Structure 1
Amino acid sequence: TFATASVPSTADLDTLEATISAELPRAQVSIPASRSFIKVVDVPFFKAGVSPPTPYTSAELNAELERSIIPSAYVVHVRYVRNSPKAEFATVWIDLSDSQRGTHASQLIGRRLFLNEAEVLIKGAKAHTRVPQCQRCWHWGHSTEVCRRPAIRCPICTGPHSRASHRSLAGCCRGNPKANPPVPPTPADAPCTHVRACINCGNKHAADDHRCPYWRHRFNWSWIK
């Protein structure tokens, strides 16, 4: 164990490893790893001066972060979350690989940077654990193991069957040859295209669809509750 006056850079670690490798050929030098969390607030969600309103993509955001004061070598994960379905701004949640003392995060918190053509502020954040979505009833807030629902529900149609059995058991897809005129079944290689309502938000998509606002807020316990 070596004590240093400041957090060593990658070049510093390489130099130290090269120095001691003559005596310890298998030695590897690294910083004790921990995890810190920061957030960038009031980030514009839409591009300025563009009509119709066009949101920034995750790729564009990541490219700007690469050029920012946040060292990309320490960035573990980035989540870009619009503050609400109609909000003008978003929050960027960033997980950092950090020292045990949280040195990288403390050097960034309170600083400003330009992101999506605006000057925005970096704040500290708490660890955001993901809200579980039950794979049995498809509601958010509890895991499959503790589900109290009496029966499995289909995420596509909310019927009392699994997703795998949707095509053969759901009335919308299995067809009805006795109807007049007969209703053909959904082709085996085609997805279900019938109108359905998510059991969580009520919109026209399956309960496990990533377009669901609940999915976008899967790290926000207070929003889902």
Structure 2
Amino acid sequence: MKPPECVVCGADAAAPGELVRFVSRPEDLAWRRRVERDRLVGHPPDTAWLCERHVEAGRRLAPELDLDDAVSRLRASDPSAPPSPEPRVTTIRGMPIAEFVDRLQLLVTRIAAQLGVPAPDLVPRTTRTWHPMDGAVAPDCPFVDDTTWTSPESPLTLVGSRAWWSDGVLARAHETLLIRVAGVSASVSGHIPADRSTDRVGELLITGDLPSAVAALVADSFPAA
């Protein structure tokens, strides 16, 4: 799954925000059939995160509109909502996802000190979602573990997701640090792609504008390749 950032405005979409599925386009249905046939795991293209401000309106539109039309309608009805920013991609020294998570956790503490906000307690809270396919059901089918390391109310929120074919057989992984402090709305993330072309995190994705001091901390934590 994609990190919980609102597709309309880019805000934190962790609870009370939620994932909303819209009307499936032909290509969305084809994606779902391919995922089931080839035993893939990924973020459905007809489903998006919506924050607390937009989730109610999104639910009302979900039975009527596809994702693109719904987002256009929601943005039109909320002129203050900026377009979703494109991430800036930096190639970094490749590392296992576990090391990437460790570095993000240290970065949380360093950014909190730099911005003068309390460092959140990093306590993992994991929700498992089973994905039955080919007649296999839980606990013998693929599953996704979504983990939140911090309280949703924290100005620094660390979230991650692991998709597994089975215990110990990783299909995909990503981790995201959301920064929501006065004057700053940004995210820092990395992932192992669903096609498993690599089993290491080799790219850093940054959305939003980071203060120069925070950007320096990020660059120090994840050296460029």
Tell me which of the two structures has the higher relative contact order, counting C-alpha pairs closer than 8 angstroms and 6 or more residues apart.
2
Same fold (TM over 0.5): no
TM-score normalised by L of structure 1: 0.21
Report the TM-score, using the length of structure 2 for normalisation: 0.21
The structure carrying a bigger strand percent of its residues is: 2
Q: Which has the larger radius of gyration?
A: 1
